[in-house]
Structure 1
Amino acid sequence: PKGRTETLQRGNNHVTCPPKLLLLDLKRNGSIVLRYEFPQQVVPIGNNYLNKIVIDDAFGGFAYITDNSGSDPGIVVFSRRLHQSWKVRENNSMRAAQNAVQFAINGTELTFSIHIDAIALGPYYNPNVQNDIDPQVDPLLANQNYERNVYYSPLSSYHLYSLPASLLRDPEYVAKATPRDILEAVTDYGRKSSQTDGMIMDNQGELYYGLLGEHSIARWDSYKPFTPKNQIIIARDRTHIQWVDGMGFDHEGYLYVVVNRLHNFVAGRMRPEETNFRILRGKTNALSYVQTPNNVFNNDVRYKYDGEVDNSLLHYGVSSTTPVSSRLETASIFGRGAAGAKEASLVTMMVLMVVAKLLAA
């Protein structure tokens, strides 16, 4: 919302520069607002693959970054207020699953074991309240408990997981927690129909994610169970949706999807005469997760507040700053319905740039 963006510099085996996090001010021609070098014990030079990043504006600002290095995968947490970073590791949910290392995408078959990759930040909710329709439940107050989940999935996995953001933000907890402590804090939502690389949450609590083997983009309302019925395919196209890598929102309700045919690049089958890199656009009438209202959840308010939160911001039960009911009612946001995917493209294509993402050596 402030016109700033974060970018990662990994570092590799061929350079001596340490991995960095840069905060750029896009309103000032990309001038560097913050530069942070990760310490060796958190992100070692030449032995990391910093990949996806989400931003949490709570308590001075945090960044949650997936590191899917082969030897030490995990979620790297950066606190802007503390100007420190630490790493959260969990072997069961953050490492590749052996039943998901086979990829078959549009005739290209690959086998690789890639750890934690996709990441998204969910909406606020009250973990102390389970019933979201009981009119007798008082609205969520700022001095009550509240939480956000950080959702993630290894690339080589069919499952979606989450950890509470409050635990990731706590360096003392992370330093003292045992592997069992972290494991017990993980939520396993269940199975997706394929592997996922790109993933993003909107400001209404809807999770959008690619399904690589199905040439599809799916949507899930995070207030509902993660069942096949609630995982809705909103776009499917064997030509244009080949390897969804990243996603983003603009301020007009459009979702942008980066597609790059990474499977062909890895297999050495990239054809330069074809269009391999695309940015697809579809109308969702939603905004990015970073636009989630946070009136009382700001830098000045920790765990106590003297008044009630405006009822227009928060619902009852599993209260959140995002509505329980979605405004997205149709089966597809990309023009035509998913049923017509075989006959025509479902997307409005905007080829804005050529993006090539290389796997770590």
Structure 2
Amino acid sequence: MTPFFTAIFLLAGLSSLATAGANFTQIFEWKELDFEWPSEESRAQALEDGNYIPENIEPRYMAVYGTRIFLSLHKSQGTPATLVSVPTSSASSATPKLTPFPSWDMHLNESGNCDKIDRAVGLQVDSVGRLWVLDWGNSYFNCSSNLWIFNLNNNETELVHRFSFDGKLHDLVLDETSNGTFAYVARWSDSHIVVFSLERNQSWIVDTPDVEVLSIALSPKDQEPRQLYLGELFNNELYSISVAALRNGTRTAEPELIGNWTGTPYRMVMDNHGTLYAAFMDQNFISSWNTSQPFKEQRFHEVSGLKSSWPFTFALDQNGSFWKAVVDDQRTPRLRLLTAPVGAKSYIYEDSPECAIPCQKDVTA
């Protein structure tokens, strides 16, 4: 029996659910994260050289498409590749290894080749099966920050957009419209966001006066005027701006204060019914808010005793499931991958009328 079909529910000593209807099932667990190496010799050499240090491998961002989960890993000493994939299930009882995406060769950047992926961060999959990846870049080698777009049907690179800056990239969301596709990008500790137009292959800075953006989320397609939600660095304030002006090329936006979270959200994800999920620095829980109602934070999921500065990364898929990786710096297993049916898809997908009422109940019960 495969791990995917074996329902390994969380032990009471490790986790406790705070939201009815979200029954998480553990898919995989890792005591130590390893890679699919080209050979045992290459793995041994990486260990000897310090280019692979298992205890330093830690996922930070996640995207799900089909039978693959994509993870970007924290760039630290001993992380040989920062963009990897794992399967959503396995026919083997063995814990899957991390597969560098799209290949090992795309991550070998010791020589300062700016055509390689150096530090993958925010990830998104669009509605036609393309993986969008933010790449921090490398100031030492004078490599600018990049936006990579990969076709997941053949794993080939469709586009590499080079920004006019390097560093401090965090996360992104995608706005698919009848007039083109836009990406909105959050950067660490800057009072602006970056807007990218796919059709024009152009990007520009939009100032957000007095709001240092960290986390970012986008309201569903069927909710117009569509809103971009911004979590601020160093505090718990949540803001929003209308994306209409962003599409038209504005260079300044005035964020509107929506409410206050219980912590600083480093990761926010929206589903296609308008529920916003947030994870917080140094906190052992994920919260949610139904954006069709006045701001009210609700506890979605909590892991008792969890100790980590960046404890969760999560994503919604196209089949109504919430996927979550839990990092625990002080217990074994160090990383667990779990999933729960929530009856809502990623914000990328339009709502299904026949599912709207029961699916919304599943999420907010």
Q: Same fold (TM over 0.5)?
A: yes
What TM-score does the superposition give when structure 1 sets the normalisation length? 0.59
| Structure 2 counterpart of 1:55 | 174
3-state DSSP of counterpart to 1:328: helix
* Residues 1:210 and 2:279 aligned together: yes
Whether the 8 Å contact between 1:198 and 1:244 is mirrored in structure 2 is no
| 1:325 Cα offset (Å) | 9.0
| Structure 1 counterpart of 2:24 | none
| Structure 1 counterpart of 2:141 | 15
* Residues 1:288 and 2:352 aligned together: no
The structure with the greater share of residues assigned to strand is 2
3-state DSSP of counterpart to 1:199: strand
CA distance in 1, matches of 2:312, 2:185: 15
> Structure 2 vs 1, CA of residues 238 and 73 (structure 1 numbering), >3 Å: closer, same or farther?
farther
Partner letter of residue 38 of structure 1? F
What TM-score does the superposition give when structure 2 sets the normalisation length? 0.59
> Structure 2 vs 1, CA of residues 241 and 288 (structure 1 numbering), >3 Å: closer, same or farther?
farther
| Structure 2 counterpart of 1:34 | 159
Q: 2:313 aligns with which of 238, 246, 259?
A: 246
Q: 2:361 aligns with which of 303, 327, 342?
A: 327
3-state DSSP of counterpart to 1:291: coil
Whether the 8 Å contact between 1:190 and 1:226 is mirrored in structure 2 is yes
CA distance in 1, matches of 2:216, 2:294: 19
Describe how 1:238-317 pairs up with structure 2 within 5 A. Answer: 238-240=304-306, 242=308, 243-260=310-327, 274-292=332-350
CA distance in 1, matches of 2:206, 2:312: 23
Q: 1:160 aligns with which of 238, 259, 267?
A: 238
Describe how 1:174-253 pairs up with structure 2 within 5 A. Answer: 174=251, 177=252, 182-183=253-254, 186-227=255-296, 231-240=297-306, 242=308, 243-253=310-320
CA distance in 2, matches of 1:323, 1:157: 35
CA distance in 2, matches of 1:4, 1:241: 34
**Structure 1: which 5+ residue stretches go unaligned?**
96-115, 127-145, 262-269, 295-311, 314-320, 332-361
Describe how 1:106-185 pairs up with structure 2 within 5 A. Answer: 116-124=213-221, 146-171=224-249, 173-174=250-251, 177=252, 182-183=253-254
| Structure 2 counterpart of 1:139 | none
CA distance in 1, matches of 2:137, 2:269: 25
| 1:210 Cα offset (Å) | 1.5
Partner letter of residue 74 of structure 1? H
| 1:291 Cα offset (Å) | 0.6
> Structure 2 vs 1, CA of residues 323 and 200 (structure 1 numbering), >3 Å: closer, same or farther?
farther
CA distance in 2, matches of 1:191, 1:50: 24
3-state DSSP of counterpart to 2:235: coil
The alignment-based identity, stated in percent, is: 26
Q: 2:187 aligns with which of 64, 67, 70?
A: 67
| 1:326 Cα offset (Å) | 2.5
* Residues 1:77 and 2:195 aligned together: yes
| Structure 1 counterpart of 2:121 | none
CA distance in 1, matches of 2:324, 2:307: 9
Whether the 8 Å contact between 2:343 and 2:360 is mirrored in structure 1 is no
| 1:248 Cα offset (Å) | 1.0
C-alpha RMSD of the superposition: 2.8
Partner letter of residue 16 of structure 1? N
CA distance in 2, matches of 1:16, 1:329: 46
Partner letter of residue 269 of structure 2? I
Partner letter of residue 161 of structure 1? Y
CA distance in 2, matches of 1:91, 1:279: 38
Whether the 8 Å contact between 2:239 and 2:256 is mirrored in structure 1 is yes
Between Structure 1 and Structure 2, how many residues are aligned?
Answer: 237
Q: Deviations over 1:10-48 (max 9, x none)?
A: 2122122221111101111x2001111112xxxx23xx3
Whether the 8 Å contact between 1:124 and 1:322 is mirrored in structure 2 is no
| 1:147 Cα offset (Å) | 1.4
**Structure 2: which 5+ residue stretches go unaligned?**
1-126
| 1:122 Cα offset (Å) | 0.3
Whether the 8 Å contact between 2:221 and 2:348 is mirrored in structure 1 is no
| 1:7 Cα offset (Å) | 0.7
> Structure 2 vs 1, CA of residues 323 and 18 (structure 1 numbering), >3 Å: closer, same or farther?
farther
